[in-house]
């Protein structure tokens, strides 16, 4: 079982690592400019775009569980229809968001009190990057389908290609064409459409036999209702994460521009770790969905135990690495002395992140694979309303300290609540 977990996880880790590296490169490109404005602009623009991108994360997560269960049941026609449904939802969602995107950026920036210069740069960044959304959402759907088919190599290839091209193009636009945040946005848009072409080519190469004739009444049947139901719960769950991360950024911006820049840089530590650990969560998704399709409760328990143990060891390595090399990583991300001086005393928060947050990531993967979306929704709401919000609005310590304490306890609470939900939400699915 360990061999199967690593076989699925390692390509996902390689794939996922390119995503935070891209964010780090974007931050580093702006962090080495003469002004704090560009780091803040990337933070605000990305926050609003990520609100949309993460909000549609159900396209991948919902697709994984249903695809894996259809594969376990050897239902080839349904395997194809799941991908069709997910891509249709992606196109509908992208069309709606693009139609209303000018209002979205106005509302998003309206929640912050950051300087007008940062808002102008953030608006320019967002108005360009939004045109990558159709490609991004279709890639989400296809990646979920690939993972459900226990093919983690293809999402890895697509992600690596996309992010390497993105980094190269962003560097060229910023340093060769003297662009700022807009250059980073153009690099993202071009890279996403090129990556979509790669994803489609890979699908046609290996899975062309699944291109069955579209029968619309089989697409828009009760299975679509099931997908929408699960996606609705995952969407609400994802809104909780988006709220917490966006609130963290907004509160940082409302303190001052320096705090926004500092927390943007420090948050790269969390993002890098989370995408790395997601490789094991993705493996848990694929394997747990298959175990449920096979109606094998004993196999599922083994998957949960082993992925959790591996996640703990992996997180311990990250905590030690951040403790030893955290200061050096900061200096790679920025050479701005104002940011460095303010960030160094806060490094102990990011050192604690891996060990505190890993249970939430691992269990998320198991619950996604089991399509146990209701529990994911409920535990997210509880962690947000009962833990994060009360701490942020309390009066102890400084505002920036409260933000980090609230975030860490929020992640811890998610893992604890999910752990207590396994029996009623997942094991109850089995016939025996």
Give the per-residue pLDDT at 80: 83
Give the per-residue pLDDT at 267: 82
* Structure-token match 């770790």, residue found: 273
Please give the mean pLDDT across all residues of the chain: 80
* Structure-token match 């071009």, residue found: 190
Give the per-residue pLDDT at 220: 67
Give the per-residue pLDDT at 2: 58
- The domain limits of the chain are 2-429
- pLDDT, tens only, 204-254: 998 887 776 666 666 666 566 666 666 677 778 877 887 888 788 788 877
Residues of the chain with pLDDT under 70: 1-5, 7-9, 12-40, 43, 47, 50, 54, 111-114, 212-231, 430-432
Give the per-residue pLDDT at 394: 85
Give the per-residue pLDDT at 122: 78
Give the per-residue pLDDT at 195: 92
Give the per-residue pLDDT at 114: 66
* Structure-token match 């579209």, residue found: 214
* 88-94 own/partner pairs: CB under 8 Å, 24+ apart: 88/219, 89/59, 89/141, 89/227, 89/231, 90/56, 90/59, 90/134, 90/137, 90/138, 90/140, 90/141, 91/134, 91/137, 91/138, 93/56, 93/59, 93/137, 94/133, 94/134, 94/137, 94/138
């Amino acid at each position: 079982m360990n061999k199967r977990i690593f076989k699925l996880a390692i390509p996902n880790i390689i794939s996922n690592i390119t995503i935070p590296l891209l964010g780090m490169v974007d931050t580093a490109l702006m962090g080495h400019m003469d002004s704090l404005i560009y780091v803040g602009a990337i933070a605000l623009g990305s926050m609003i775009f990520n609100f949309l991108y993460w909000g549609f994360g159900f396209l991948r997560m919902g697709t994984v569980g249903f695809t894996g269960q259809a594969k376990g049941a050897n239902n080839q026609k349904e395997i194809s229809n799941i991908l069709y449904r997910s891509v249709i939802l992606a196109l509908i969602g992208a069309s709606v968001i693009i139609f209303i995107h000018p209002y979205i950026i106005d509302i998003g920036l309206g929640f912050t009190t950051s300087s007008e210069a940062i808002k102008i740069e953030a608006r320019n960044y967002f108005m360009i990057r939004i045109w990558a959304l159709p490609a991004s959402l279709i890639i989400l759907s296809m990646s979920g389908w690939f993972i459900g088919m226990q093919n983690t190599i293809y999402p890895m290839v697509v992600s690596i290609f996309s992010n390497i091209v993105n980094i190269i193009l962003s560097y060229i636009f910023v340093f060769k064409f003297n662009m700022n945040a807009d250059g980073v946005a153009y690099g993202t848009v071009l890279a996403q459409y090129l990556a979509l072409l790669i994803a489609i080519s890979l699908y046609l190469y290996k899975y062309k036999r699944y291109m069955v004739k579209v029968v619309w009444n089989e697409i828009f049947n009760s299975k679509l209702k099931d997908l929408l139901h699960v996606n609705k719960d995952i969407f609400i769950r994802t809104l909780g994460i988006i709220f917490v991360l966006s609130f963290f950024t907004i509160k940082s911006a409302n303190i001052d521009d320096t705090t926004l820049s500092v927390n943007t840089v420090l948050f790269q530590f969390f993002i890098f770790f989370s995408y790395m650990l997601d490789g094991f969560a993705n493996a848990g998704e694929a394997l747990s969905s298959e175990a449920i399709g096979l109606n094998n409760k004993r196999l599922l328990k083994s998957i949960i135990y082993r992925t959790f143990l591996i996640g703990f060891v992996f997180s311990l390595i990250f905590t030690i690495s951040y403790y030893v090399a955290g200061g050096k990583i900061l200096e790679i991300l920025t050479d701005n002395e104002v940011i460095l001086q303010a960030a160094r005393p806060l490094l102990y928060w990011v050192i604690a992140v891996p060990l505190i947050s890993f249970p939430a990531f691992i269990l998320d993967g198991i619950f996604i694979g089991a399509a146990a979306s209701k529990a994911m929704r409920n535990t997210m709401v509880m962690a947000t309303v009962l833990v994060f919000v009360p701490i942020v609005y309390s009066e102890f310590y400084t505002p920036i300290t409260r933000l980090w304490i609230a975030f860490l306890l929020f992640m811890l609470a998610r893992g604890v609540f999910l752990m207590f939900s396994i029996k009623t939400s997942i094991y109850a699915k089995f016939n025996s």
